A = this chain, B = another copy of it.
Amino acid sequence: MNFPKTQIWEMNKAEVLIIDDEPQIRKLLQINLESNDYKVVQASTGKEGLILSASHAPDLILLDIGLPDKSGHDILKELREWYNKPIIILSVQDNEIDIISALDNGATDYLTKPFRTGELLARIRSAIKRSQNSENDIIITCGDIEINLVARIVKQNNEVIKLTSTEYNLLALFAKNEGKVLTHQYLLREIWGYTFQTETQYLRVFVGTLRKKIEVNPNNPQHIITESGVGYRFQ
């Protein structure tokens, strides 16, 4: 197995949520994923899956279509109302209609059971990689700030700036959306998860610490601009 971007995983493990009712499959996936350095969260029902996806904001979801409580198609639609990271469908169904419907409803990929674990892992790597650098940019430069998305290193005028994990996540999200106003809800959802959408105070605190680290004059920020009542904008 070759990992093109080893560092990412070592510094900050990617989290995968498994939504599947079969314990054997979950166990199989868990073992394979954990030995490949992913953090794993599991749900055995659709409802539980929705709750965990909201509270964990995983980097990828493996979703079984044949769940006991709710159709996987419905779960997919519900997830896609807010979750925009990869969702890979696992299914015993090999009929074209199901596959097309899932893909058109926002599934990133569709594998039929039984699947080959090596292939699944490769598809997971591929999907996560694509979602992490949406424009294949490895380094984002915004004025005097340079963010290496692969190494998770931030430099200002070639000096490395030490950021905590959350500070980095926030700055990287800002940088990926340079110039756009990002709402409080969006920022909270992307970084903390759906259930944190109302915790705007978190944002104030972390924007504050970020400004202290990257702004020349934190009282007159030039990079992270407040859009009162709406959110923040990075430039």
Q: How far is the CB of A149 from chain B (nearest CB, A)?
A: 11
Q: Is the CB of A179 within 8 A of B165?
A: no
Q: Is the CB of A228 within 8 A of B164?
A: yes
Choose one: B125, B126, B153, B181; the contact of A108 (CB below 8 Å): B126
| Binary B-proximity of A117-153 (CB < 8 A = 1, otherwise 0) | 0110111011000100111100000000000001111
Binds B, one of A42-50, A98-106, A202-210: A98-106
Instruction: State how many copies of this chain the complex holds.
Output: 2
- A54-B188 Cα distance, complex, nearest whole Å: 34
Choose one: B119, B151, B181, B228; the contact of A181 (CB below 8 Å): B151
Do A103 and B130 form a contact, CB below 8 Å, given A179-B153, A180-B153, A227-B165? no
Identify the 3 closest CB pairs spanning chains A and B, nearest first: A152-B181, A165-B229, A151-B180
What is the total number of residues of chain A having a CB less than 8 Å from a CB of chain B?
A: 41
Q: How far is the CB of A127 from chain B (nearest CB, A)?
A: 9
> With an 8 A cutoff between CB atoms, is A107 at the interface?
yes
Q: Is the CB of A103 within 8 A of B118?
A: no
> With an 8 A cutoff between CB atoms, is A4 at the interface?
yes
Q: How far is the CB of A130 from chain B (nearest CB, A)?
A: 7
- A152-B233 Cα distance, complex, nearest whole Å: 10
Q: Is the CB of A122 within 8 A of B104?
A: yes
Q: Is the CB of B99 within 8 A of A122?
A: yes
Q: Is the CB of A135 within 8 A of B134?
A: yes
Determine the chain B residues whose CB is within 8 A of the CB of A130 once the complex forms. Answer: 108, 130
In the complex, what residue of chain B is closest to A99 when comparing beta carbons?
B119
In the complex, what residue of chain B is closest to A4 when comparing beta carbons?
B104
Q: How far is the CB of A22 from chain B (nearest CB, A)?
A: 22
Determine the chain B residues whose CB is within 8 A of the CB of A228 once the complex forms. Answer: 164-165
- A108-B109 Cα distance, complex, nearest whole Å: 10
Determine the chain B residues whose CB is within 8 A of the CB of A109 once the complex forms. Answer: 109
